[in-house]
Structure 1
Amino acid sequence: MIEIETQLLSQSSPIDDENYFHRQLNELNELHNHLKNLEKSINELLKQSEQLNNEKLSSISEQLASRGKQTTLEIIQRKRSIKQMIEAYRSFKKLFEQEERTLYNIEKRMQHLEPISNDAIQLKRMSKIVTDLFNDILFRAQLIEHMNDVAIKFIQEVKMHDKNLKHFRASLCYPSMSIKQQKYPSNIQNASRAVLHKVEGFD
């Protein structure tokens, strides 16, 4: 359990790299599978401790089972968060590349505008070209605003991911901060501290 928690805590803040997201997602999937196997062993230990009528062993088993559930919820939450970040990042990247190409083309059109002429017909034609360019720029401004909204959504997802990581770390150090306000026995508390000592190297 300590090894799983340590790996969860060692995950760093997300960066704007889709490959990085997928690596973290793969790590979480591996941890999730590992935890499922561990929970089976913990449940078996819980049954045996009840059969032996060993209160101390039962208490430890129950705490481990509860700790496993908390860690499972953390993994599921992170997987969901990373998937949302991937979706937001892809949307932003697609919009950014599209707007970058379009604005480049508009810029080229502006560079190729003909010099102002005294000819009325030519002036009228140029006026239409400039008006069309202006309307295109206004339209693109609206799309860029939408692109910025997508970027903000991505940033919010990253901040929430970091917040959850800090909360998970705090819940191991101070069990009273966990969702169920549980009190761990001294051996579980010491194990939690051991995890945090390992994680100090990642800060």
Structure 2
Amino acid sequence: MNSIELFSGGGGLALGLVKSGFHHKAIVELNKNACKTIRLNSAFDFGKCVYECSVVNFDYTAIDADIDLISGGPPCQPFSLGGKAKGNEDSRDMFPQAIREKRPKAFIFENVKGLMRKSFSDYFEYITLQLQYPSLNKAIDEPWQLHKSRLDHYHAQSDHTQLEYKVTCKLVNAADYGIPQKRERIFYWLSNGY
């Protein structure tokens, strides 16, 4: 199974996916030290597929393979409880754009619990709708609220057999899985159709 890892950080998710049978066609990370960590990890030979660049500038057409999975952890600063919580007004908010480019069979995103705050509830729903219907693009200069309204209307009119992706979202705590740390993260995962 082929995958692309975005916002990979030090490569923890990438390592887990390799152990689960995925073959990375690209690992995209902007931070040079994180890229160095990934390249130096002797357990896996990721060097040839590490791209040190922004996911915004990454050329998805350079990956000449069908992609089964896109995974990643978009920057959490826009939603973090410890930050300024600017949400969609933060330029680091890069949630759904990636799947529009390559249209994988499935997707996994993780982010901080702060994304589920009441103050982000409309935007949380907007992210989910964008992930369900990636072909309904946001127009240039279209406010996210207007795009959400279009997505809501489309979703309400649909008999849901036209879902491009079935989206599931769950808050998990790493401590519940044997990790000696309380680390709560929200996971979005998607599959193509039902």
Same fold by TM-score, threshold 0.5 exceeded?
A: no
TM superposition score normalised by structure 1: 0.20
Structure having the larger proportion of residues in strand: 2
Pick the structure with greater CA Rg: 1
TM superposition score normalised by structure 2: 0.21
Structure having the larger proportion of residues in helix: 1
